[in-house]
Chain A
């Protein structure tokens, strides 16, 4: 019952925040779309008429997946930073449900709410490029959520670091742009790169939407295991940093 109340509270909080900061919410989608248009025109002007339809499709889906990854990475780290700046972080630690459950709920709900923006962006991008694919949305959301859990794990690690060091923006910058390159790496059939978080899931979603390939059942199981592994490691690392933050009295400081 406590968890249901927590999820309800976090859902309301997300809706209140979006309503209060409506301009920011709308401008975020506009900015994401403008970046895509810039990228699309840039690629088109270089490749000209030689640009292959398959590459264009991959670019559309890849961009949407990259944006999803950015949101998920910001997750817990961003939350810790924001709450710390506001002065409300310690209040979250006064919940009998535990801080991890609160941060995990926040991160997952943020991911789910971001699905709406991601979907808008996906359709806008397909409309712009003229490459329309019928997207199986339940599959898309399900796979995306499962794959993004691994990045939520990385977000937890960043959140833990944020508890001690507070400002971790530079690391985000590196990971964000590094992710573009990482998402181009070959991960199927299984390679060393497949061990990295999110990449296997991203590759699968991309291939499914663009109709490039199908995957065996074990591959989906592997993606789930990969996500659970990174999430568990992320929570473990978060706990270690949290323990250290409580020892150093860093929870309330910014």
Chain B
């Protein structure tokens, strides 16, 4: 069942087309990742869903509520983190932030007391509930922002770069929290991120956007099935001459690395597994010994780079 429906969304700023005829749906109880290079239209899409940006054409409905016609009704179903930890009041404590954000969303302090206690405990903020947020690490601030986005118990959560500036441990803890929000409480989450491993591990489906248009819209599994290449790592020993190097590079697109101790590794991305036989016979022809061969699945980052067609930095 779709809970967010974006249909033919288009947004321009003067001559610049930020989002060009994007359509997709988010289903209840899933995590949808939106990936794309800087300026590809990810945040514009997210803000359009929240009604923070008016778009030129198309329509967006959130739980069957048209965002452009009834923005305030639609936002009642959503919580968001848009500028990371800047979205909260640093001179207040996490508890005060939560009480305030619940209040401006129309919830009395009494009606959210138990929810606030639960959120503070679940996010590991219980011990610091009365300390000023400005004293916190980036991870703690981000957790406070997440708690604030959840204080009115929205069905939908929109997170713009939720792991930006977080260390590996905190990022992993955020990942766990998001999975649990979907699994245990049936929330729907939309995430934009540059953190490929985060997206790969947390999202059910991924939308890849380039220059305002959708390049791919698949589940992580089908994205792998459709686009993933197998990478073969060959470890060689013997006389690796210029002729061998040239053929390996030109014919098979291989990348050769040679360590200081003389060990040679060939990194091959082959379109068809049968090509591996040709590579192996060439290795034999040149009198080189094959020490080891390993097969590596390409990561979401590799697939993303292939689809986007540019080097990710």
Where the two chains meet, the residues of A that have a C-beta atom closer than 8 Å to any C-beta of B are 1-6, 8-10, 12-13, 16-17, 20-21, 86-88, 90-98, 102, 243, 246-249, 251-252
Whether A96 touches B72, Cβ cut-off 8 Å, given contacts A16-B92, A249-B47, is yes
**Pairwise interchain contact B83-A249, C-beta atoms closer than 8 A:** no
B69 at the interface (CB under 8 A from A): no
Determine whether the beta carbon of B104 is less than 8 Å from that of A95: yes
Question: Separation in Å of the A154 CB from the closest CB of chain B?
Answer: 24
Given the contacts A5-B103, A12-B103, A252-B52, A94 and B92 also touching, CB distance less than 8 Å? no
CB within 8 Å for A93 and B52 given contacts A249-B47, A252-B82: yes
Chain B residues in the interface with A (C-beta under 8 A): 13, 44, 47, 50-54, 72-73, 75-76, 78-80, 82-83, 86-92, 96, 99-109, 132, 148
- Give A102's nearest chain B residue, CB to CB: B104
Complex Cα gap A95–B75 (Å): 7
Q: Which A-chain residue is minimally distant from B104 (CB atoms)?
A: A95
Q: How far is the CA of A251 from the CA of B91 in the complex (A)?
A: 22
A17, A95, A249: the one contacting B105 at CB < 8 Å is: A95
Q: Which residues of chain B are within 8 angstroms of A1 by Cβ–Cβ distance?
A: 106, 108
Q: Take A94-B75, A252-B47 as given contacts and tell me if A87 and B104 are in contact as well, using a CB distance cutoff of 8 Å.
A: no
How many whole Å from B71's CB to the nearest CB in chain A?
9
The CA-CA distance from A218 to B47 in the complex, in Å, is 49
Q: Are A94 and B79 neighbours in the complex by a CB distance under 8 Å? A: yes
Closest Cβ of chain B to A64, distance in Å, is: 29
Q: Which A-B residue pairs are the 7 nearest by beta carbons?
A: A9-B103, A87-B86, A2-B106, A96-B76, A87-B83, A5-B108, A95-B104
Kindly provide the distance from the CB of B299 to the nearest chain A CB, expressed in whole angstroms: 32
Task: For the complex formed, measure the closest distance between the CB of B86 and the CB atoms of chain A, giving whole angstroms.
Answer: 3
Q: Which residues of B contact A251 (CB under 8 A)?
A: 52
Chain B, residue nearest A8 (CB): B103
From residue A92, how far is it (CB to closest CB) to chain B in Å?
7
CB-based contact A95/B106 at 8 Å: yes
Query: In the complex, how many angstroms separate the beta carbon of A85 from the nearest chain B beta carbon?
Result: 10
